Structure 1
Amino acid sequence: MLYLIELWESVREFIATGGFVLYFVALALFLMWILMIEKYWFLTSVYPKMKRDIIARWDARTDTTSWYAHRIRDAWISEAAEILDARMITIKTLVAMCPLIGLLGTVTGMIAVFEIMAVQGTGNPRLMAAGISMATIPTMAGMVAALSGVFFSSRLDAKVKMAKAKLVDSLPHH
């Protein structure tokens, strides 16, 4: 319990040093990871059953060679592809937004530095240092958040493309 309290205090100090923009970085990071975990869960738990059902429906058809059968096959593949692609754009958008949110923190931190310089002058380096750290920490946090998402989202995208290709290959095109 003491460890959690110390961890929470460290997080609070970090946010106080970096400014309110870090809350937005944390929110984007949280949403991104929730969506990625949900998509991994879908690919490993829900989609295999859905794929088996589609293959079973195709195999149960007596007509698999007519134009109508191929349109039905294409429709099933398209429906599955749409479900597989769901939320992938949102994940990629959140990954791309993290550095931009960090840059927003840079701008607000620099505004704070300029305000201090306007009021106090350039003679107080301690006050300027607080504004500069408020400018650099959100940028770093946004970049780290984006880097954590880039690898996993591209991996997830590859898994989705592979799942679509395997579904197409599983439905013989006579």
Structure 2
Amino acid sequence: MIVDVVAGLLGGVLLLRFWMQAIRVRPPSSVAQFTFQLSDWLVRPLRRIVPGMGGYDWASLIGAFLMVILATSVLFLIGATPELVLLAALHRFLEWILFGFMALLIIEAVFSWVNPHAPLAPFVRALNEPLLNPIRKVVPLVGNLDLSLLVALILLQICQILLGMLFGG
């Protein structure tokens, strides 16, 4: 359980680091300091092996996948084959990505209700823009109410259900 929690936290930070770099969002200094201090020990050595290409920080993404493999490797203890462990790790990795997007959307919704001018609100909004902009083009405002967040959450839940069906869960 402790390995799972630590791997989940580090994996989430590594996925956040990848996403911030992929969409070119500059984090507030407190978030940047937290993210980089928590993940540099893994990302820097991985960059020697896997340099960034195409404008993406592949070392962060691979580091997150390594964390999920670590968390899933407990299956080895019950006699699972390496193929099964890798398949379970891939499933879990995709779940982490979906849960991360859902968490960002929920955080944005809370900011909009509680304090839309909070210091982290623009940062979270910028992280969600690539998900919400395509939806906003299809779903119009309803009485000055933006339903794109709700639609995005529903779509992510559908993806989660499909992922479970695909991996037999």
Name the TM-score, length of structure 2 as normaliser.
0.31
Higher relative contact order (CA 8 A, sep 6+): 1
Name the TM-score, length of structure 1 as normaliser.
0.30
- Greater helix proportion: 1
